[in-house]
Each structure stands twice: as C-alpha cells, then as structure tokens.
Amino acid sequence: MDPHAHAVRTLRGFSLIEVVITMLLLSMVMTMVSLLLQGSAQVVNFAEAVERTGQAAQLGLERITSELREATEIKSTGGTLVFEKVDPTRSFDSSNIPDVPGPLPDGWTPPGWTRYPAAAYLTVTYRSDGTQLVRRVGSVRQVIAEGITGFDSRQPETGVIRLSLTMQERRRTRTLETLVTCPVVVGP
C-alpha cells in the first residue's frame, strides 16, 4: 500500500450536506442580527422624534413667554392667545418729550403719559392648528412647533398668563406649563 494514499484520504474536504447546513445556520444568525439592528434603529428614530417634538414645544413656549412679556394688552385667552405689543421695527418719536436743560424749574410737572399711536402696535396670535403651534402677525403665518396636540392659555389674574402645550408620545400625553407675568399689562 502506498503511504501517500492514506494521507490523501484523511485530507478530504467538506461534504455538500455540511456546506448546506453551515450556510443555513449562518443565514439564520445573520437574519437574527439584522432584525435586532432594525428594531434598534426604529427605537432610536422614535426616541429622536420624541426628543425633537419636546424640544420644539419647549422652544415654542419660551418664544411665547418672551413675547408676552412685551404685551401691552391681552385681548383673548383660551385655545387662541391674542395680544398687542409695540412694533419693535417702528422708530421712536421723541418729539413729545420736553427738553429740560439743567435743573428743573420750581413747579414744573412732567407731561402726561401718552400711549403710542394705534399704528405702532402689532396684534400677535398664537393658536394650535392641527398638530402645529402657529404664530400669526397680520398676514404672516409662522409655524413655531410641530407635533402639538393642544395649546391653552388662561389668565388667572390681571397681567398673569398660564400657558400649556400638550403633545402625544405614543400612549403617553405630556404637558408643558409655564406662568408668565406681563409687566406692562395693568389692571383697573
């Protein structure tokens, strides 16, 4: 017997059935890994969307709060918040301010306070429109936040506004609230 014949017989390759079983097992493992990765990607995407909605709602509330502090008159509260503020793009008219050089003369009284002319005011409206928080000034409409399910404003006392924004996160409802003091709005 040839000594090389025995060595050749022991170095034989994989049989077809072994290759098929190996490929089947590898494909099952790869399928499981891809399903896990796909599920993880969906969870991450959902978490990012929820975070973006929450941040947009928070920024929207901060925007309203900042603008309400400039309000001179609150016209309407509830699902639609309407208020007036001085138009910041208008020039200041100093013609009605008296020029008093040096010390004030005896008996001098300052002139009475005069309100800005009506044209110097802007009417600002915030309201929920479907899933959007919308700001409107004149004919200009601006989306402040998306993913909102509710907006409400209440005036518990003169010059104080309670704002709340509601959003839906799957089956959980999340509400952001803030209390705003409007320093220029005065009561009777």
Among candidate residues 125, 27, 29, the one with its CA nearest the CA of residue 82: 125
Please list, in sequence order, all residues whose beta carbon lies within 8 angstroms of the beta carbon of residue 74, skipping any fewer than 6 positions away: 81, 82, 83, 155, 161, 182, 185
Separation of alpha carbons 17 and 92, rounded Å: 90
Least confidently predicted of 7-11, 140-144, 169-173: 7-11
Q: Summarize pLDDT for 24-59 with one digit per residue, the tens.
A: 999 999 999 999 999 999 988 888 887 887 888 888
pLDDT at 1: 55
State how far the Cα of 57 lies from the Cα of 166, in Å rounded to an integer. Answer: 8
With contact defined as beta carbons under 8 Å apart, do 153 and 162 qualify? yes
145 neighbors 56 (Cβ within 8 angstroms):
yes
Tens of pLDDT along 80-139? 999 998 887 776 666 655 566 677 777 777 666 666 777 788 899 999 998 899 999 989
Amino acid symbol at 100: V
- Which among 113, 136, 116 is positioned nearest to 124, based on CA atoms? 136
Question: Residue 69 pLDDT > 80, yes or no?
Answer: yes
Q: Which two tokens stand for residue 32?
A: 């499981």
pTM beyond 0.85: no
Give pLDDT, residue 162.
93
Nearest CA to 165 among 180, 175, 179, 178?
Answer: 175
Q: What is the pLDDT of residues 74-88, one digit of tens each?
A: 888 888 999 998 887
